[in-house]
A and B are shown apart, each in its own frame.
Chain A
Amino acid sequence: MSASTAPSAHHAAREFTPLPAQHEPRHLSPLTALPALTALPTLTTPDDDAHLRDLHTRLVREAEEHGQLDVAYRTVSSAVGDLLLAATPAGVVRVAFAQEDFDVVLTELAARLSPRVLAAPRRLDAAARQLEEYFAGSRRRFDVPIDLTLAAGFRRQVLQTLQTLPTIAYGRTASYAEVARAAGSERAVRAVGSACATNPVPVLVPCHRVVRSDGTFGGYRGGVEAKRLLLGLEGVTA
């Protein structure tokens, strides 16, 4: 019995022809000595990829049940390219643009929040669906829990202001100075700029509606083109 014909020859032998003891190879290396063992290092089946996906789904479910899924993520496609969405049990904690490099973003989340990170779409189903509706023009405000853990101090205050400020509802814009005033720190215009530039949950927290006093759009984490596109979608033109 040679190693190369192992599986079929082996099974034929096992059903019809008892293998005589003296035919057992004794001078080969252990792996080739037992033909079926040549498969040991791989030990895979053709449907292993699908099987591992099922096991992954089960792991996500059980990790969630045990309260150890600290960060769940998924991607969605949108008019401004693929977006990475990540959520803690408290809410959506991060929205990232493709140009930020998703691997880098996930590594940052592992470092800053917890390395217990899994691709787990379900926790982000609602956010993904609402984003889809937003990009289709049928949704004007988001109604999902947001976790602002990644923003601290005044920056966080600015983002909270953006979530509630009626003057920058869908289709409207405000200047950095106006947002600074609304956030309770009239002179902190530059700080508002950096709060917007580092907004961990863009689109959901609408920093794209904050523009320069002269009416030009200013910078954006997802690139100026993305900002223009979002505002265009909402009917704002510069």
Chain B
Amino acid sequence: MRPFEQVVAEHGATVLRVCRAVAGPDHADDAWSETFLAAMRAYPDLPAETNVQAWLVTIARRKSIDTHRARSRTHPTDQVPERPSTHGQPGGWERDLWEAIGDLPAKQQSAVVYHHVAGLPHAEVAALLGGTPAAARRAAADGIARLRRTYLEEVR
């Protein structure tokens, strides 16, 4: 089993992208830390054949969603609560876009994040979501289409 340091070095940037996409810029760091702490705890018992990147990305998405839940505890709802206006580009990247990704329905969000953000092939995404690679591809495409609508509407 490789030293955990190598896992962090190899996948740290991918996990950060996933956390930014799902948790939003303000909570990405917390989600990243939670992800690697949880992964490090479980790491010694990880089966040898595990795809480490896919494993980390699923933890990252779950921890990122948890940061939403922690914030919305006072408003029990399926919808992510409204967040403050975030015009401009803090950190130099598309803050609103990542918030729009955070607001996608769960399956589309998973497919978009796993495929477009984390770079997993559709077959890997299908293994994580259940269902066929074709269904995973469709969910990613639907997610992108929805982003195109919601995000560009916001821009307008």
Task: Say yes or no: A31-B144 contact (C-beta < 8 A), given A14-B155, A41-B119.
Answer: yes
Please state if B16 and A52 are interface contacts (CB–CB under 8 Å).
Answer: yes
Please state if A63 and B40 are interface contacts (CB–CB under 8 Å).
Answer: yes
Please state if A106 and B5 are interface contacts (CB–CB under 8 Å).
Answer: yes
Shortest CB-to-CB span from B134 to chain A, Å, is: 15
Residues on A with C-beta less than 8 A from B55 are none
Interface residue ranges of A39-65 to B (CB < 8 Å): 39-41, 43-46, 48, 51-52, 55-56, 58-59, 62-63
| C-alpha gap A31/B2 in the complex (Å) | 35
Residues on B with C-beta less than 8 A from A137 are none
Number of A interface residues, CB 8 Å?
45
Stretch of A88-96, A109-117, A122-130, A200-208 contacting B (4+ beta carbons < 8 Å): A109-117
Q: Return the contact of B41 from the options A55, A68, A119 (Cβ within 8 A).
A: A68
Stretch of B66-74, B76-84, B87-95 contacting A (4+ beta carbons < 8 Å): B87-95
Does A37 belong to the interface (CB within 8 Å)?
yes
| C-alpha gap A24/B155 in the complex (Å) | 12
Residues on B with C-beta less than 8 A from A11 are 89
| C-alpha gap A18/B2 in the complex (Å) | 52
Please state if A37 and B97 are interface contacts (CB–CB under 8 Å).
Answer: yes
Does B147 belong to the interface (CB within 8 Å)?
yes
Does A33 belong to the interface (CB within 8 Å)?
yes
Residues on B with C-beta less than 8 A from A118 are 4-5, 8, 40
Does A13 belong to the interface (CB within 8 Å)?
yes
Residues on B with C-beta less than 8 A from A48 are 13, 16
| C-alpha gap A43/B92 in the complex (Å) | 10
| C-alpha gap A59/B11 in the complex (Å) | 14
Please state if B94 and A115 are interface contacts (CB–CB under 8 Å).
Answer: no
Kindly name the residue among A24, A34, A46 whose own CB sees the greatest number of chain B CB atoms within 10 A: A34
| C-alpha gap A3/B2 in the complex (Å) | 40
Please state if B33 and A115 are interface contacts (CB–CB under 8 Å).
Answer: no
Task: Say yes or no: A30-B145 contact (C-beta < 8 A), given A14-B155, A36-B97.
Answer: yes
Please state if A55 and B152 are interface contacts (CB–CB under 8 Å).
Answer: no
Does A66 belong to the interface (CB within 8 Å)?
yes
| C-alpha gap A48/B16 in the complex (Å) | 9
Kindly name the residue among A19, A21, A40, A66 whose own CB sees the greatest number of chain B CB atoms within 10 A: A40
Kindly name the residue among B20, B32, B94 whose own CB sees the greatest number of chain A CB atoms within 10 A: B94
Task: Say yes or no: A37-B144 contact (C-beta < 8 A), given A43-B17, A59-B8.
Answer: yes
Does A78 belong to the interface (CB within 8 Å)?
no
The contact sample of 28 A-B pairs, CB cut-off 8 A, is A10-B155, A11-B89, A19-B155, A21-B156, A24-B152, A30-B140, A36-B97, A39-B94, A43-B17, A43-B20, A43-B93, A43-B117, A45-B92, A48-B13, A51-B16, A52-B13, A55-B12, A56-B12, A58-B29, A59-B33, A59-B40, A68-B40, A107-B2, A109-B3, A111-B1, A115-B4, A115-B43, A116-B44
Question: Lowest 7 CB-CB distances: which A-B pairs, in order?
Answer: A117-B3, A30-B144, A43-B17, A115-B1, A110-B3, A40-B116, A34-B148
Additional pairs, 15, CB under 8 Å, beyond known A39-B94, A44-B13: A18-B156, A30-B144, A33-B144, A36-B94, A48-B13, A55-B33, A66-B37, A68-B37, A71-B3, A106-B5, A110-B4, A115-B43, A116-B4, A116-B40, A119-B5
